[in-house]
A and B are shown apart, each in its own frame.
Chain A
């Protein structure tokens, strides 16, 4: 009886203003309406202002001549190039410093994090003070300090410090060093390098499979490096070892020839790497500390050395804890590289800032900045999520 009554309970009738579903929709419509009204108000104001100040709108300006110099470019660029090209140069510069920064700060931060856990008291204290010192001071201050130190403490080009038998020059204009003259064989060397890397990866897989099957280890890392580097060298030798170099030499007030690492780039990269590695070190340390103590004891009981235990047992497991916060550090490096504008490295924000000042089209340009950073950020998160899934514990 009772069960039947429960089963056939008629739906409770509620007045519409007490029905949670109706209320929910009314509330949502009101909020979206308010946000929409605010947006409409701002947009209509903007339209008025743009019309009154006679500022053009649209992205036509991208095709016009930029007319400004960029000091440090990875691709061909001159003031006669278009704004689109100038912005592309900026994006490439941002990516260059971000990628290098991510790689270097991961390596340095991992060593610092492991160093903080070292049984050597002195080493762990030094690592601790490094971390505390760098992360408690704004990045921008470090950038200014390094930039001013490079541009004021190093001598001018005429008194440049020259080392390695006069082939490398260090001055406040940057570090000049010789590079090989452009040669068609370089393209084939790059292809050979790619083939070599692919070969190394396949070799590593084969070695892993053999070790799992037979227990016989194979020095796959050194062999892999040998294959990857050997291929391009073999191609170079086969082409008759073309070895003409472009040497830097003092001409007038600056050097010509060779290639240069600009002081702005150096200061930015050094600042980003030193600052971020302090955060990476904390992440690595807490990742290792999160592991059960039995893991390192079991590794020691198996007769592994401390280094082996770290490399083969502890770090692979700690990675699962480390990867998610590491992702946000990688995003931070990318976003923090925008501080370049303060020391004059021509990154994306710097290029766009000049463009805003010249064209007056703030809205389009700010939209471009946001689109570019969102693309990079989302790509990094997507890659790291994929990696995180790959290394995460597979449970049945």
Chain B
């Protein structure tokens, strides 16, 4: 009782020194104990030494303006080589005066990816975004697109059939009749086309000059291989995951065998297989574009990995969801597409983005079979005898570009994970 001073005379205690201001922060985080202090000093010396050496090389003695490699010798970094080669690194052997085309194709793909990252777009808008975006991208890259009649017929058949199965017992009579009509037109047209009664009409859109795929290179190639690898692998990964969870033994065996086989071997072996074995698999006379072969290998590879991720999502669903869907009288396709997948996929979006980052990096392996992706064009830029001997500069530049892409995607995936879990977190 005695040490409590009367009100009004209470001494103001100074705040503890430890916790305030920049000094306090330094004391808490860098010098909290002897060992900690020594660690800090050693690290500061080491980092300072490395940084000063790096800055000396990369900035102070660097040459930004040399006209050829020989002017750069015996100095620091030669960033002039990046200034000289950046267009080749980004766009490869695409005709030089047409470089605006891959540039806008890259912008279109980035816009597509950025728009898809907005959760307000996760509905029918996604289909529109990807349809329009893909059309623009490939129109710019190829210069012309041929849409054969059978493609339209096939789409009509597919939309009709999917609609009929998904909206069975749910859709209104008029809607179902529309699906029936679509399916009938598609089926009849395809039969007539195969029988040779319908001619091979195709809609040609050719505003630009044609550029074949072996001239493609650089960033668009990396983006296309990774993005469309994942887009096509996605439905097929879903099928594999559903097959692996199936109660039908033969289906399950096929899916397990395929997934484990693909996951057990390196991507390179699949790429080598695609480049040397795929031509053997096809009937003689049928040739297959090299780019398309690599794309097929990436899709096969990605499908197995995506299947395992989606299986995780399927397993996280409580059994009651399946039973409730059965009790509602939904058929297997309706139960899967309307009840199970929307909930399972929501859980696996962040790991799927991480997989995408992995594939974005792994597409660099296609240089083994001679495709000019971003890393390969960077590699080829080093071959020029006028600019020989500056691998560090080029590789650091390429690493920086890869880093920007991968780092921003991993940040997005982390943020999304928090956002998506907000509803379920207590």
Which residues of A are interface residues toward B (Cβ below 8 A)? 24, 27-29, 31-32, 35, 42, 45-46, 48-50, 52, 119-123, 126, 132-133, 135-141, 144-145, 148-149, 152, 331, 335-336, 338-339, 341-342, 349, 353, 356, 362-363, 366, 369-370, 373-374, 377-378
CB of A45 within 8 A of CB of B282, answer: yes
Q: Nearest-CB distance from A349 to chain B (Å)?
A: 6
Q: Is B14 interfacial (CB 8 A cutoff)?
A: no
Q: Nearest-CB distance from A282 to chain B (Å)?
A: 11
For B250, the chain A residues whose CB sits under 8 A away are 28-29, 31-32
Interface residues of B in 367-407 (CB under 8 A from A): 367-368, 375, 378-379, 382, 389, 391-392, 395-396, 398-399, 402-403, 406-407
CB of B368 within 8 A of CB of A370, answer: no
For B362, the chain A residues whose CB sits under 8 A away are 138
Q: Nearest-CB distance from B89 to chain A (Å)?
A: 12
Q: A119-B29, A136-B407 are in contact. Are A363 and B280 (CB under 8 A)?
A: yes
In the complex, given contacts A29-B250, A145-B391, A377-B264, what are 11 additional A-B residue pairs having Cβ atoms less than 8 angstroms apart?
Answer: A45-B283, A119-B32, A137-B403, A138-B375, A148-B392, A342-B367, A342-B368, A362-B277, A363-B280, A366-B273, A373-B264
Q: A126-B43, A145-B391, A339-B365 are in contact. Are A374 and B248 (CB under 8 A)?
A: no
CB of A137 within 8 A of CB of B402, answer: yes
CB of A369 within 8 A of CB of B269, answer: yes
Q: Closest chain A residue to B382 by CB distance?
A: A148
For A140, the chain B residues whose CB sits under 8 A away are 364-365, 367, 375
For A137, the chain B residues whose CB sits under 8 A away are 361, 399, 402-403, 406
Within the assembled complex, what's the spacing in Å between the Cα atoms of A119 and B283? 65
Within the assembled complex, what's the spacing in Å between the Cα atoms of A31 and B284? 27
CB of B265 within 8 A of CB of A336, answer: no
Interface residues of B in 31-86 (CB under 8 A from A): 32, 36, 39-40, 43-44, 47
For A46, the chain B residues whose CB sits under 8 A away are 280-281
Q: Nearest-CB distance from A133 to chain B (Å)?
A: 7
CB<8 Å pairs between A and B, sample of 10: A27-B251, A31-B254, A119-B29, A120-B30, A120-B40, A136-B406, A141-B375, A148-B382, A362-B280, A370-B265
Within the assembled complex, what's the spacing in Å between the Cα atoms of A349 and B276? 14
Within the assembled complex, what's the spacing in Å between the Cα atoms of A135 and B406? 9
**Total cross-chain contacts (CB, 8 A):** 152
For B276, the chain A residues whose CB sits under 8 A away are 356, 362, 366
Q: Is B22 interfacial (CB 8 A cutoff)?
A: no
Q: A32-B250, A123-B43, A341-B368 are in contact. Are A366 and B269 (CB under 8 A)?
A: yes
Chain B interface: which size bin? Answer: 35 or more
Within the assembled complex, what's the spacing in Å between the Cα atoms of A120 and B29? 5
Q: Is B261 interfacial (CB 8 A cutoff)?
A: yes
Q: Contacting B395 at CB < 8 Å: which of A121, A148, A374?
A: A148
Q: Is B116 interfacial (CB 8 A cutoff)?
A: no
Q: Closest chain A residue to B308 by CB distance?
A: A328
Q: Is B155 interfacial (CB 8 A cutoff)?
A: no
CB of A374 within 8 A of CB of B264, answer: yes
For A377, the chain B residues whose CB sits under 8 A away are 263-265
Q: A148-B391, A342-B368, A374-B264 are in contact. Are A45 and B280 (CB under 8 A)?
A: yes
For A362, the chain B residues whose CB sits under 8 A away are 273, 276-277, 280
For A331, the chain B residues whose CB sits under 8 A away are 264
Q: Is B266 interfacial (CB 8 A cutoff)?
A: yes
For A356, the chain B residues whose CB sits under 8 A away are 272, 276
Q: Is B413 interfacial (CB 8 A cutoff)?
A: no
Q: Nearest-CB distance from B168 to chain A (Å)?
A: 15
For A378, the chain B residues whose CB sits under 8 A away are 264
For B403, the chain A residues whose CB sits under 8 A away are 133, 136-137
Q: A121-B29, A122-B43, A141-B399 are in contact. Are A349 and B407 (CB under 8 A)?
A: no
Q: Nearest-CB distance from A232 to chain B (Å)?
A: 36
CB of B283 within 8 A of CB of A120, answer: no
For B281, the chain A residues whose CB sits under 8 A away are 42, 45-46
Within the assembled complex, what's the spacing in Å between the Cα atoms of A240 and B273? 56
CB of B268 within 8 A of CB of A136, answer: no
Q: Contacting B36 at CB < 8 Å: which of A119, A135, A141?
A: A119
For A121, the chain B residues whose CB sits under 8 A away are 29-30
For B134, the chain A residues whose CB sits under 8 A away are none
Q: Closest chain B residue to A335 by CB distance?
A: B266
For B261, the chain A residues whose CB sits under 8 A away are 370, 374
Q: Is B410 interfacial (CB 8 A cutoff)?
A: yes
Q: A45-B281, A138-B375 are in contact. Are A339 and B268 (CB under 8 A)?
A: yes
For A148, the chain B residues whose CB sits under 8 A away are 382, 391-392, 395
Q: Nearest-CB distance from A119 to chain B (Å)?
A: 6
CB of B399 within 8 A of CB of A145, answer: yes
Q: Nearest-CB distance from A19 to chain B (Å)?
A: 14
Q: Contacting A149 at CB < 8 Å: which of B39, B43, B392?
A: B392
Q: Nearest-CB distance from B45 to chain A (Å)?
A: 11
Within the assembled complex, what's the spacing in Å between the Cα atoms of A336 and B266? 7
CB of B284 within 8 A of CB of A48, answer: yes
Within the assembled complex, what's the spacing in Å between the Cα atoms of A366 and B265? 11
Q: Nearest-CB distance from B82 to chain A (Å)?
A: 15
Q: Nearest-CB distance from B357 to chain A (Å)?
A: 8
Within the assembled complex, what's the spacing in Å between the Cα atoms of A121 and B247? 52
Interface residues of B in 168-213 (CB under 8 A from A): none
CB of B265 within 8 A of CB of A28, answer: no
CB of A138 within 8 A of CB of B361, answer: yes
Within the assembled complex, what's the spacing in Å between the Cα atoms of A149 and B391? 8
Q: Contacting B272 at CB < 8 Å: which of A136, A149, A342, A349?
A: A349
Q: Contacting A122 at CB < 8 Å: which of B30, B247, B264, B407?
A: B30
Q: Which of A48, A139, A144, A363 has the most CB of B within 10 A?
A: A144
Q: A120-B29, A136-B403, A137-B406 are in contact. Are A145 and B265 (CB under 8 A)?
A: no
Within the assembled complex, what's the spacing in Å between the Cα atoms of A197 and B44? 41
Within the assembled complex, what's the spacing in Å between the Cα atoms of A369 and B267? 11
For A49, the chain B residues whose CB sits under 8 A away are 279-280, 284
Q: Nearest-CB distance from B396 to chain A (Å)?
A: 8
Within the assembled complex, what's the spacing in Å between the Cα atoms of A339 and B357? 18
Q: Contacting A139 at CB < 8 Å: which of B30, B277, B361, B368?
A: B361
Q: Closest chain B residue to A50 by CB distance?
A: B280
Q: A28-B248, A336-B266 are in contact. Are A138 and B277 (CB under 8 A)?
A: no
Q: A31-B250, A341-B368 are in contact. Are A48 and B283 (CB under 8 A)?
A: yes
For A145, the chain B residues whose CB sits under 8 A away are 391-392, 395-396, 399
For B268, the chain A residues whose CB sits under 8 A away are 338-339, 341, 349
Within the assembled complex, what's the spacing in Å between the Cα atoms of A45 and B284? 8
For B379, the chain A residues whose CB sits under 8 A away are 144
